[in-house]
Amino acid sequence: MDAVVKFMREFAEAENDAAHAQYTEHDNAVFQRKLDHLKTFYGEGLAPDVNDPGKRDAAFFAEHEEAVGNLKRRILFQIKRYEHPKLGDLYQCYVSNYLALGPKALYFANLYVTGKGKDHQIIANYGVCRACGSLGKVDGKKCPDCKGEGWIWVRGAKIGERGKLIETRKLHKPDRPEHLAEYEAE
């Protein structure tokens, strides 16, 4: 579990570096190196949220000057390790957004990680279900949008059944009371 925590912290750092470089680094080669480094955290067919916007000239930098203030390093709330029947160790990593959407620490995504040692990779991205706010219920009934999972597939592998829960590592309490209840449940 320690290796995955380290991997996710390194990922958050690389993502933050690339996001800042996208809007502040005038040397395109430096930006591309940071973006390429970020891409190494993702499995085949999965790309980061930070991308190459194309022409990054003076007009681009002027237009996006305020965007830098909206960037923040993702918060890693918790990681759950499952024994997946096909993937082996599967890690469900609860993270915040990398954009500052307010002062609170809120769940935003589940990034699923597989691999061992230096071969960890993010293989799937699931976002908070907007209908139920990741709670799996609306008006006391199973959420029709996420089928009670609380998360909606965004891209990458479709995980399905995660398997047997083996271990949970709690790292940062979320601010939303409902998320905090889920965080403290296991």
Residue 80, amino acid: K
pLDDT, tens only, 34-81: 999 999 999 988 999 898 888 899 999 998 888 888 999 999 999 999
pLDDT given at position 117: 73
Cα–Cα distance between 147 and 43 in angstroms, integer? 26
Whether the pLDDT of residue 14 is over 90: the answer is: yes
At 120, the pLDDT band (50, 70, 90 cuts) reads very high
Q: Give this prediction's pTM.
A: 0.93
Cα–Cα distance between 32 and 123 in angstroms, integer? 22
Q: Which residues partner with 156 through β-bridges?
A: 124
Whether the pLDDT of residue 102 is over 80: the answer is: no
- Strand-strand pairing, 137-138 and 141-142: antiparallel
Whether the pLDDT of residue 186 is over 80: the answer is: no
Cα–Cα distance between 74 and 13 in angstroms, integer? 8
pLDDT given at position 81: 98
At 125, the pLDDT band (50, 70, 90 cuts) reads very high
CB within 8 A of 142, min separation 6: which ones? 136, 148
pLDDT given at position 164: 96
Q: Tell me the average pLDDT across 3-9.
A: 97
